[in-house]
Amino acid sequence: MPIDEPVRDSTDELVLEVAAVAAQAAALRGVLADWALERGLPRELAEDLKLTAYEAMTNVVKHAYPDGTDDNVMTVTAALVDGHVEITVADEGRWRDGRRPDGGRGLPIIRAFAPEASVTSTPTGTVVRLSWPCPAA
């Protein structure tokens, strides 16, 4: 499945609005890593961005759209802002509780790899914000 064209793509910012499906989340892992590497960020940081953003995108696919409608979207943003690299993953869904008895792995992975991580849920969607200090390129 091809990735949708960027909504905005500038030197320091990438914004993609894609279908909230597993294939798009998987494809965006590489897009985010490439974006980071093209900006001179260290490979280890690019890999952390890739893993952590993928976990957030996977949570959207699994939890944000319980009704399975055809217009499920997520917006993924990557930006260099004030000495930090920031990734956001946003949806317009209504999250269902998909917790397993032993707990999920997505949020613990996110919190382990992103120095700053927040999850904000409202009746109109959820936004996961991730931030890392950005070494000088």
Give CATH for domain 8-133.
3.30.565.10
Query: Is residue 9 over pLDDT 60?
Result: no
Q: Exposed, middle or buried: residue 123 (CB in 10 Å: 0-12, 13-18, 19+)?
A: exposed
Amino acid at 36: A
**Given pLDDT bands bounded at 50, 70 and 90, which one contains residue 65?**
confident
Supply φ then ψ for residue 45, to 5 degrees: -65, -40
Average pLDDT in the chain: 84
Beta strands in 3-110 (DSSP E): 8-9, 13-19, 73-81, 84-91
Query: Is residue 59 over pLDDT 80?
Result: yes
66 versus 52: the higher-pLDDT residue is: 52
51 versus 122: the higher-pLDDT residue is: 51
pLDDT at 107: 84
Query: In terms of Cα–Cα distance, which of 132, 28, 131 is closest to 74?
Result: 28
pLDDT at 1: 44
Instruction: Report pLDDT digits (tens) over 98-135.
Output: 555 545 778 888 989 999 999 998 888 999 999 999 87
**Given pLDDT bands bounded at 50, 70 and 90, which one contains residue 70?**
low
**Given pLDDT bands bounded at 50, 70 and 90, which one contains residue 14?**
very high
12 versus 133: the higher-pLDDT residue is: 133
105 to 10, 86, 100, 108, 112: CA distances (angstroms): 33, 21, 10, 6, 11
